[in-house]
Copies of this chain bind each other. A is one copy, B any other.
Amino acid sequence: MERRLNWGLIGGGEGSQIGAAHRIAAALDRKFRLVAGALDVDPERGREFAARCGIDAARAYGDWREMLERERVLAPDAGRLDLVTVATPNVTHYAIAKAFLEAGFDVLCEKPLTTTVEDGAALVAAAKARRRVLAVNYGYSGYPLIRQARAMALSGELGRIRVVVAEFAHGFHASAADAGNPRVRWRYDPRQMGASSVLADVGCHALHLACYAIGQEVRSVAADFASCVAGRELEDDAMLALRFSGGAVGRLWASAVAAGQMHGLTLRVFGERGGLRWAQEQPNQLYWAPSGEPTRILERGAEGLSPEAARASRIVVGHVEGMLGAFANVYADLAEALAARRENRRPAPPGPAYPTGAEGAHSVAVVHAAARSAAAGGRWVEV
A residues within 8 Å of B by Cβ?
A: 1-2, 4, 17, 20-21, 23-24, 27-30, 51-54, 162-163, 165, 169-171, 174-176, 222, 224, 226, 228-229, 237, 239, 241, 249, 251, 253, 255, 257-264, 268, 270-277, 280-284, 287-289, 291-299, 302-304, 314-325, 377-380
Q: Is the CB of A318 within 8 A of B54?
A: no
| Interchain CB contact under 8 A, B275 and A320 | no
Measured in the bound complex, the distance between the Cα atoms of B299 and A273 in whole Å is: 19
A295 adjacent to B292 (CB under 8 Å):
no
A27, A263, A292 — most chain B CB neighbours (10 Å): A292
Residues of B within 8 A of A316 (CB): 17
Q: For the complex, what is the distance from the CA of A222 to the CA of B377, rounded to whole Å?
A: 9
| Given A249-B228, A322-B319: A299 and B294 interface contact (C-beta under 8 Å) | yes
Copies in the complex: 4
Question: Contact at B378–A241, with CB atoms within 8 Å?
Answer: yes
- Residues A315 and B319 in contact in the complex (CB < 8 Å), given A24-B28, A52-B1, A253-B251: no
Q: A322-B325, A378-B380 are contacts. A260–B295 as well, Cβ < 8 Å?
A: yes
Judging by beta carbons under 8 Å apart, are B314 and A324 in contact? yes
Q: Which residues of B contact A303 (CB under 8 A)?
A: 292
B residues less than 8 Å from A274 (CB atoms): 259-260
In the bound assembly, the distance between CA atoms of A377 and B20 in angstroms comes to 45
Interface centre among A1, A162, A261, A263 (most CB of B within 10 A): A162
User: Which B residue's beta carbon lies closest to that of A320?
Assistant: B322
User: Is A162 a contact of B241 with CB atoms below 8 Å?
Assistant: no
Chain B residues with CB under 8 Å of A51's CB are 1
Q: Are A162 and B224 neighbours in the complex by a CB distance under 8 Å?
A: no
> Which chain B residues lie closer than 8 Å to A264 at the CB level?
318
- In the bound complex, residues from chain B placing their C-beta under 8 Å from that of A281 are 284, 318-320
- Nearest to A2 among chain B residues (CB) is B52
Q: Are B1 and A30 in contact (CB under 8 A)?
A: no
For the complex, give the distance between the alpha carbons of A170 and B241 in Å.
19
Complex interface: chain B residues within 8 A of A257 (CB): 162-163, 270
Q: Please name all residues of chain B whose beta carbon is closer than 8 Å to the beta carbon of A293 when the two chains form the complex.
A: 296
CB-based nearest B residue for A49:
B1
19 pairs of residues in contact across A and B, judged by CB atoms under 8 Å: A1-B52, A27-B27, A27-B30, A163-B228, A165-B253, A165-B258, A170-B318, A222-B224, A222-B378, A260-B274, A260-B287, A281-B284, A281-B319, A282-B282, A294-B304, A315-B323, A321-B324, A322-B322, A379-B379
State whether A263 touches B228 (Cβ < 8 A): no
Task: State how many angstroms separate the Cβ of A165 from the closest Cβ of chain B.
Answer: 7
Q: Which residues of B contact A280 (CB under 8 A)?
A: 319-320
Which B residue's beta carbon lies closest to that of A316? B17
Given A274-B259, A377-B380, decide whether A291 and B175 contact each other with a Cβ distance below 8 A: yes
| A273: chain B residues within 8 A (beta carbon) | 259
Look across to chain B and name the residue whose beta carbon is closest to the beta carbon of A321. Answer: B322
Residues of B within 8 A of A54 (CB): 1, 4, 30
- CB pair A296–B299 under 8 Å, yes or no, is no
* Complexed CA–CA distance, A104 and B52 (Å): 29
Q: If A284-B281, A294-B302 touch, does A262 touch B222 (CB 8 Å cutoff)? A: no
A-B contacts besides A163-B257, A294-B296, 10 pairs, CB < 8 Å: A30-B54, A176-B272, A222-B378, A255-B270, A260-B295, A281-B319, A283-B320, A293-B296, A297-B297, A378-B378
**Within the assembled complex, what's the spacing in Å between the Cα atoms of A53 and B260?**
44
